[in-house]
Amino acid sequence: MLVTVLRYRAITGDQASSDEAVSARIEEAIELLEGELGRPLEQAERTERMYPTRDGLLWPQATPLVAAEGYTIDGHALNGTFVWWVNDHVVTMAVDVTYTGGWVERTANPSSAFRLPVHIERDLAFAAQALGQTPTPLAVPAGASSVSLGDASVTFKDGYHPDPADAGVSWSAETLGYRYRRVGGYPPATTGWPQL
């Protein structure tokens, strides 16, 4: 887990919640943040399909990069050879790459270059705390089209899905700076060889 219960308590001051409840909320906060950033956070070995950019670099989603056998790590990119010639045209194809990337928990790895940045750790702790807050009983959720007190039902407009921010979860601008942005365009819509 990227944030320990002990660190959660030190950051938020919440001493009343059970360890099990805190752990579950931290996991939920991590899932919410991964969805917001479009990238996994925790360090692990992954296999990902990537499309090389013109300069021959691959841009994995899980950073920082720790290892990728057969590739050279170049910042947040992997360097390798991915060019094929077809009818005198250069064609780059998708490459399935197994690599290790992501963050580790700070306190268990205090000297690691891959430890979770403090601002992300704090955001996750405060998000977990917000997820544990009891909503005001008569509060009307944002985006609700109708609310009834008998049997407590809330109806939302068509296509509306409550945002985690409605539950008091928010992320700092520094954390949102880690959003995944595809480099080099999007993969082709069709499978097989690109059209030449």
Q: How does pLDDT run across 155-180, given as a tens digit for each residue? A: 666 655 555 555 679 999 999 999 98
State pTM to two decimals. 0.75
- pLDDT score, position 154: 65
Bridge partners (DSSP) of residue 85 are: 90
Residue type at position 141: P
Tokens 């919410």, residue located: 32
Average pLDDT score, the chain? 82
In this predicted model, what pLDDT tens digit does every residue of 122-146 receive, in sequence order?
999 999 999 998 665 556 666 666 7
The residue ranges of every structural domain in the chain are 43-102
Where b means 16+ CB within 10 Å and e means fewer, 75-94 reads: eebbbbebeeeeeeeeeeee
Name the E strands within the chain.
44-50, 57-58, 65-67, 72-74, 77-79, 83-86, 89-92, 95-101, 144-148, 153-156
Dump pLDDT digits (tens) for 40-82.
999 999 999 988 887 778 999 999 999 999 999 999 999 986 6
Cβ-contact 64, 40 below 8 angstroms:
no
Query: Distance between CA 8 and CA 19 in Å, rounded?
Result: 10
CB 131, CB 167: distance < 8 Å: yes
Contact criterion met (CB below 8 Å) for 193 and 86: yes
